[in-house]
Structure 1
Amino acid sequence: MKPKLLAFDLDGTLLTTDKTISPRTLEVLIAFQRAGGRVAIASARPAVGTAVYSRMLKLADYHGLVIAYNGAQIVDQTTQQVIFEKQMDPDTARAFIRNAERFPVSVLVDDGRTYFSNDPDGYKVEHQRSVIGIPIEKHVPLADFVDFPLCKILVMGHGDVLDRVTPEITAPFADVFDFFRVGEYYLEVTFKGFSKASGLKAIENRLGISRAEMIAFGDSQNDAGMLAYAGIGAAMRNGEAPAKAAADVVTAYDNDHDGIAHFLTENPAVDLEMIDF
C-alpha cells in the first residue's frame, strides 16, 4: 500500500505521555509530507487546541489538515479554510445542555476561540482549558447563553459522578447524539452516527483521496470508527480495547516508543520507498 494520507489522534497516539511529538516520529511524518503525502490530525479538540502540534508537524507548509471536534470540522492548515463543517441543531443542543445542567457536572462548549461553561471551577476543567489554550467564561444557565453554532459538547466530572448520572443525561437524546466516555472524567457529545470516520469520508469526497489510500492511528473508543474506515487502521499498543477491536493491526510499540514511526518504516504492508529515511 502506498498511502496518500496519514491520520492520527493526538493524546495516547501521536503524543507521548509528556504531550510532545518524539523526534523520530516527527522526522518520519515531515519526510512523508515532503514526498507529497498529506497528514491529518484527527482530534476531539477544537482546531485551535491542535495549533502547537500543527506547527511542529509543519502542516501549513504541506496543506496538512486538522480534523477537529471528532470529525465535525476540517481545516486546511495552509489556507486556514474550513473545508467541511457540521453543526448541531441549536435548539437540540440547548435542550441537552439544559438537561445536563440539572446534574453536578461541568458542561463546556466553545466558539473556536473561547470556552463557555456553567462551572469553570469544576473537576479538571482548568486542566482542559490549559491543554486547549483558550480562555474560559462562566455563564449560568449555560443553555440560555448559547446562541452560536456548536460542533461538540463536553461534559466533565469525577468518574464516579459521571458513572452515576450519565444515563439520565444521555437517555433523552440517545436518538440524536452519540456519547463517548473518554478517560475518567470526559463525556463527549457528538452527532448521531458521526465520528472521526466522517472526517475521513469528507476528505475522500473533497480531496479525492480514497479510503484505501489512508492509514489511521488511534488509541481510544472515539478513534474506532476512523480505524475501521481507513485502508489500514492501526491501534496503538497502549490503546483501549474498542480501538484494538476496530483496527486491522496493533502497533508493535506504544506512543512513548515511536509506535507510529516504527509501523510506517518497518511494516511490509506500507510502501514508503519514495522517502529517504
Structure 2
Amino acid sequence: MIIISKKMIALDLDGTTLNDDAQLSSRTRSVINQAVKEGCVVSIVTGRPNRLSESFYDDLHLNTPMINFNGNLGILPHKNWEREYQYTIDKEIVMELLSNSQKLGLNLIAVEGRDLFLANRGISSGFGFFPSTLQSNQILNQKSLKDNPISITVQVEQPGQKQALMDYVLHHFGDQVEVSPWGGPHPIVEIATKGIHKSTGLKFLADYYGILQKDIIAFGDEANDATMMKYAGTGVAMKNAIDSIKKSADEVTQYTNDQDGVARYLEDYLNLAVG
C-alpha cells in the first residue's frame, strides 16, 4: 500500500494571494477550493490582524486555523478553540510611546489584539488598514488600554524619523520586542514579541496536523515571509517579490500576484484540473 503524504499550503495575503486591488480573483478561489478537495491543508499565514483577514478566510471557505500578526496569533475563526494561542506585549511600552510621541515624531499609534483595536487618532492617508475616523471606544489612552496588545503599529510623521524610532524601541525594549518596518512607501513600523515570526505559526500548524516540513509549500513576497518560506519544504517567492525573498526562495512563480501567480503555480504543482 502506498501512503501519500498530506500537503500543507501556507498563504501570505498581500502581494501574494491577493491581487493588486487586495482582492481574491475567481481563479484563485477555484484553485484553492480544488486543492482542499484534493486533500491539501490550506491555511492563511499573514501579517494582517484577524479583523482584516476573516473575510478572505470565509471567501475561500476554509476551516483550518489562521495565523495572524506574523505568527503572534493562531485562531480558528468564528469559534472558541482550545488550541488558540497569542503572544502579547507589555502595555506599558504603549504608554511610553504615547508619552514620547511628540519627541519621536509619531503620527499614529495603533494597538491590536484578538478582539482589540485602539488608536490615538484616525488616519486619512488611505492605505486601508486603519479607519479614518475612530469611534469613542476606539481611542487609545491609559484608561482604554486594559489588556496587553499583540501588536503595536506606529507611523512617523516623516520617513527620516523611522530609523530613529526603531533605534529608540530597540534600545529601551529590545529584550522584549522586535521592530519590523512595513514594505511599501509608508513610514510605518510594527512592534511585536521578540523571536516570534510567521515560522512560529507555520510550525504550530504543521505540528497540529502532523505534516512534515518537506510537505509544506509556503508562498510569500516580503521580508516578513522569509522565516516561513525557509521553514517550509518548498518556499515559493512571487514574481513580484522583493529581491532578497527571490534569492532565498526554492522557487519563483512565473506570474505576479496580479496575474494569479499562486493559482497558476498550484495548478501545475498539484496537477489540478480546475474548471
TM-score surpassing 0.5?
yes
- 2:148 aligned with 1:149, yes or no? yes
Q: 1:174/1:14 Cα in 2 relative to 1: closer, same or farther (>3 Å)?
A: same
CA displacement 1:45-86 (0-9 Å, x = unmatched): 221211211111011xxx223101111111224745263323
SS of match in other structure, 2:219: strand
Q: In the TM superposition, what are the counterparts of 1:194-213 in structure 2 within 5 Å?
A: 194-213=196-215
Report how far residue 98 of structure 1 moved: 4.7
Residue of structure 2 equivalent to 1:51: 54
- 2:11 aligned with 1:14, yes or no? no
Rounded to whole Å, the distance in 2 between the matches of 1:223 and 1:216 is 9
Q: 1:96/1:240 Cα in 2 relative to 1: closer, same or farther (>3 Å)?
A: farther
Rounded to whole Å, the distance in 2 between the matches of 1:213 and 1:96 is 44
One-letter code aligned to 1:202: F
Residue of structure 1 equivalent to 2:240: 238
Q: 1:245/1:126 Cα in 2 relative to 1: closer, same or farther (>3 Å)?
A: closer
One-letter code aligned to 1:215: I
Question: Do the aligned partners of 2:254 and 2:261 also contact (CA within 8 Å) in 1?
Answer: yes
One-letter code aligned to 2:204: A
Rounded to whole Å, the distance in 2 between the matches of 1:251 and 1:100 is 44
Q: Quick check: 81-90 or 183-192, which moved more?
A: 81-90
CA displacement 1:162-213 (0-9 Å, x = unmatched): 2443322332222221211112232111221210100011112222122222
Q: Quick check: 216-225 or 98-107, which moved more?
A: 98-107
Q: How many residue pairs are counted as aligned between the two chains?
A: 265
Q: Quick check: 26-35 or 153-162, which moved more?
A: 153-162
One-letter code aligned to 1:185: P
Rounded to whole Å, the distance in 2 between the matches of 1:223 and 1:39 is 16
Residue of structure 2 equivalent to 1:178: 178
Q: Quick check: 7-16 or 98-107, which moved more?
A: 98-107
One-letter code aligned to 1:40: S
Rounded to whole Å, the distance in 1 between the matches of 2:149 and 2:26 is 35
Q: Which runs of 5+ in 2 are unaligned?
A: none
Residue of structure 2 equivalent to 1:254: 256
Residue of structure 1 equivalent to 2:112: 110
Residue of structure 2 equivalent to 1:4: 7
Residue of structure 2 equivalent to 1:83: 83
Question: Do the aligned partners of 2:89 and 2:193 also contact (CA within 8 Å) in 1?
Answer: no
SS of match in other structure, 1:127: coil
Rounded to whole Å, the distance in 1 between the matches of 2:51 and 2:179 is 22
Rounded to whole Å, the distance in 2 between the matches of 1:82 and 1:220 is 31
Rounded to whole Å, the distance in 2 between the matches of 1:125 and 1:143 is 27
One-letter code aligned to 2:159: G
Question: Do the aligned partners of 1:3 and 1:37 also contact (CA within 8 Å) in 2?
Answer: yes
Q: 1:125/1:169 Cα in 2 relative to 1: closer, same or farther (>3 Å)?
A: farther
Report how far residue 33 of structure 1 moved: 0.9
- 2:68 aligned with 1:68, yes or no? yes
Residue of structure 2 equivalent to 1:193: 195
SS of match in other structure, 2:257: coil
Rounded to whole Å, the distance in 2 between the matches of 1:2 and 1:263 is 19
Rounded to whole Å, the distance in 2 between the matches of 1:168 and 1:78 is 38
Q: Which runs of 5+ in 1 are unaligned?
A: none
SS of match in other structure, 1:83: coil
Question: Do the aligned partners of 1:94 and 1:144 also contact (CA within 8 Å) in 2?
Answer: no
TM-score normalised by length of structure 2 = 0.84
Question: Do the aligned partners of 1:45 and 1:68 also contact (CA within 8 Å) in 2?
Answer: yes
Report how far residue 152 of structure 1 moved: 1.5
One-letter code aligned to 1:138: I
Question: Do the aligned partners of 1:24 and 1:261 also contact (CA within 8 Å) in 2?
Answer: yes
SS of match in other structure, 2:149: coil
TM-score normalised by length of structure 1 = 0.84
